[in-house]
Structure 1
Amino acid sequence: MMAVVEKTLEMPPATPREHTEAAARHMDGTSTSSDPVQSASATRPPSSTTSGEPVLGKPSTSAAAQPTGQVTTDGSCGATFGNTVCGDWAQGSCCSMYGYCGNTTSHCGEGCQSGPCTNGPVVPAPKASPAPAAQKPGTLVKLGRSGVPAMHAGLMPNGKVVFLDKVENYTELKLGNGQYAYSSEYDPTTQKLTPLAYKTNAFCSGGIFLADGRFVSLGGNAPLEFIDPTVGDGFKGIRYLERSASDASLDGQAWSEPGNSLDTARWYASVQIMPDDTIFVASGSLNGLDPSKPENNNPTYEILNADGTSKVKSTNMEILSKNQPYYMYPFMHLLNDGNLFVFVSKSAEIFNVGGGNVVRTLPDLPGSYRTYPNTGGSVMLSLSSQNNWSNDVVICGGGPYQDISAPGEASCGRINPMAQNPSWELEAMPEGRGMVEGTLLPDGTVIWVNGAQEGAQGFGVARSPALEVLIYDPAQPVGKRFTTGPKSDIARLYHSVALLLLDGTLLISGSNPVEQPILTPSTQNPFVTEFRNEIYTPPYLQGNPTRPSGVALKTKNLKANGSTLEISFYAPPNAKEVKVSLYYGGFVTHSVHMGHRNLFLDVANFKPGQKNQKINVTLPPNKKVAPAGPYVVYILVDGVPSVGQFVQVS
Structure 2
Amino acid sequence: MHAGLLPNGRVFFLDKIENYTQLKLPSGYYAYSSEYDPTTNEVVPLEYKTNAFCAGGIFLADGRVTSLGGNGPLDFIDPTVGNGFDGIRYLSRSSSDASLNGQPWSEPGNKLSSKRWYATAQILADGSIFVASGSLNGLDPTVLANNNPTYEMLNSGGVSNGQSIPLQILVKNQPYYMYPFVHLLGDGSLYIFVSKSSELFDIQSGTTKRVYPDLPGDYRTYPNTGGSVLLPLSSANNWAPSVIICGGGAYQDITSPTDPSCGRIDPLDADASWEMDSMPEGRGMVEGTLLPDGTVIWLNGANRGAQGFGIAKDPTLEALIYDPSQPLGKRWTTGASSTIARLYHSVALLLLDGTLLVTGSNPVEQPILIPTPQDPFVTEFRVEIYTPPYLQGGNANKRPTNVQVSSKTLAANGETFTIRFDAPAGAQQAKVALYYGGFVTHSVHMGHRMLFLDNAGFTVGQTAQELTVTMPPSKNLAPPGPYVVYVTVDGIPAIGQFVQVS
Structure 1 residue aligned with 2:34, among 153, 175, 184? 184
The alignment partner of 2:163 has SS state of strand
The alignment partner of 1:310 has SS state of coil
Structure 2 residue aligned with 1:551, among 398, 403, 418? 403
Residue equivalent to 1:510: 360
C-alpha distance in structure 1 between counterparts of 2:291 and 2:98, whole Å: 27
1:544 deviates by 2.8
Structure 2 residue aligned with 1:367, among 217, 233, 246? 217
Question: Does 1:611 find its partner at 2:463?
Answer: yes
AA in 1 matched with 2:234: S
Residue equivalent to 1:580: 432
Displacement over 3 Å in runs of 4+: none
Residue equivalent to 2:156: 306
Residue equivalent to 1:163: 13
C-alpha distance in structure 1 between counterparts of 2:146 and 2:344, whole Å: 22
Question: Does 1:622 find its partner at 2:480?
Answer: no
The one-character-per-residue Cα deviations of 1:186-230 (angstroms, maximum 9, x if unpaired) are 100000010000000000000000000000000000000000000
Residue equivalent to 1:385: 235
Question: Does 1:567 find its partner at 2:424?
Answer: no
The alignment partner of 1:207 has SS state of strand
Contact 2:63–2:92 (Cα < 8 Å) also in 1: yes
Contact 2:426–2:462 (Cα < 8 Å) also in 1: yes
1:486 deviates by 1.2
Residue equivalent to 2:318: 468
The alignment partner of 2:276 has SS state of strand
- TM-score, normalised by the number of residues in structure 2: 0.99
How is 1:461-500 mapped onto 2 (pairs within 5 angstroms)? 461-500=311-350
Residue equivalent to 1:590: 442
Gaps of 5+ in 1: 1-150
Residue equivalent to 2:72: 222
Residue equivalent to 1:71: none
AA in 2 matched with 1:469: A
Residue equivalent to 2:48: 198
How is 1:303-382 mapped onto 2 (pairs within 5 angstroms)? 303-382=153-232
C-alpha distance in structure 2 between counterparts of 1:316 and 1:359, whole Å: 16
C-alpha distance in structure 2 between counterparts of 1:372 and 1:462, whole Å: 13
Structure 1 residue aligned with 2:377, among 517, 520, 527? 527
C-alpha distance in structure 2 between counterparts of 1:204 and 1:544, whole Å: 40
C-alpha distance in structure 1 between counterparts of 2:145 and 2:206, whole Å: 24
Question: Which structure carries more strand by proportion?
Answer: 2
Question: Does 1:642 find its partner at 2:491?
Answer: no
Residue equivalent to 1:422: 272
The alignment partner of 1:321 has SS state of helix
C-alpha distance in structure 1 between counterparts of 2:383 and 2:75, whole Å: 30
C-alpha distance in structure 2 between counterparts of 1:518 and 1:354, whole Å: 47
C-alpha distance in structure 2 between counterparts of 1:452 and 1:331, whole Å: 20
Structure 1 residue aligned with 2:247, among 389, 397, 407? 397
Contact 2:112–2:162 (Cα < 8 Å) also in 1: no
The one-character-per-residue Cα deviations of 1:378-400 (angstroms, maximum 9, x if unpaired) are 00100001111122100000001
Residue equivalent to 2:129: 279
The alignment partner of 1:311 has SS state of coil
The alignment partner of 1:508 has SS state of strand
Residue equivalent to 1:238: 88
C-alpha distance in structure 1 between counterparts of 2:162 and 2:239, whole Å: 29
AA in 1 matched with 2:218: S
C-alpha distance in structure 1 between counterparts of 2:275 and 2:162, whole Å: 37
Contact 2:186–2:241 (Cα < 8 Å) also in 1: no
AA in 2 matched with 1:291: P
C-alpha distance in structure 1 between counterparts of 2:238 and 2:177, whole Å: 31
Residue equivalent to 1:48: none
AA in 2 matched with 1:602: D
AA in 1 matched with 2:142: S
C-alpha distance in structure 2 between counterparts of 1:390 and 1:534, whole Å: 35
Residue equivalent to 1:254: 104
The alignment partner of 2:145 has SS state of helix
C-alpha distance in structure 1 between counterparts of 2:68 and 2:49, whole Å: 13
Larger radius of gyration: 1
Give the paired residue count.
Answer: 500
AA in 2 matched with 1:293: V
AA in 2 matched with 1:200: T
The alignment partner of 1:419 has SS state of coil
C-alpha distance in structure 1 between counterparts of 2:366 and 2:394, whole Å: 40
The one-character-per-residue Cα deviations of 1:529-580 (angstroms, maximum 9, x if unpaired) are 0010111100111123211111111110001110100111111100110000
The one-character-per-residue Cα deviations of 1:447-483 (angstroms, maximum 9, x if unpaired) are 0010011000000000111111101111111111110
C-alpha distance in structure 2 between counterparts of 1:478 and 1:593, whole Å: 25
1:515 deviates by 0.3
How is 1:75-154 mapped onto 2 (pairs within 5 angstroms)? 151-154=1-4
AA in 1 matched with 2:411: K
AA in 2 matched with 1:323: N
1:648 deviates by 0.1
The alignment partner of 2:161 has SS state of strand
Question: Does 1:175 find its partner at 2:8?
Answer: no
C-alpha distance in structure 2 between counterparts of 1:231 and 1:544, whole Å: 48
- TM-score, normalised by the number of residues in structure 1: 0.77
The alignment partner of 1:474 has SS state of coil
The one-character-per-residue Cα deviations of 1:86-117 (angstroms, maximum 9, x if unpaired) are xxxxxxxxxxxxxxxxxxxxxxxxxxxxxxxx
C-alpha distance in structure 2 between counterparts of 1:443 and 1:363, whole Å: 31
C-alpha distance in structure 1 between counterparts of 2:428 and 2:457, whole Å: 13
Structure 1 residue aligned with 2:388, among 538, 555, 578? 538
C-alpha distance in structure 2 between counterparts of 1:368 and 1:509, whole Å: 27
AA in 1 matched with 2:461: G
The alignment partner of 2:321 has SS state of strand
Gaps of 5+ in 2: none
The one-character-per-residue Cα deviations of 1:390-411 (angstroms, maximum 9, x if unpaired) are 2210000000100000001110
C-alpha distance in structure 1 between counterparts of 2:293 and 2:137, whole Å: 42
1:312 deviates by 4.5
AA in 2 matched with 1:164: L
C-alpha distance in structure 2 between counterparts of 1:391 and 1:337, whole Å: 10
Residue equivalent to 1:89: none
Residue equivalent to 1:632: 484
C-alpha distance in structure 2 between counterparts of 1:580 and 1:238, whole Å: 34
Question: Percent sequence identity over matched residues?
Answer: 70
The one-character-per-residue Cα deviations of 1:276-301 (angstroms, maximum 9, x if unpaired) are 11000000000111111111000000
Residue equivalent to 2:261: 411
AA in 2 matched with 1:641: P
C-alpha distance in structure 1 between counterparts of 2:73 and 2:240, whole Å: 43
C-alpha distance in structure 1 between counterparts of 2:239 and 2:190, whole Å: 14
C-alpha distance in structure 2 between counterparts of 1:201 and 1:337, whole Å: 36
The alignment partner of 1:406 has SS state of coil
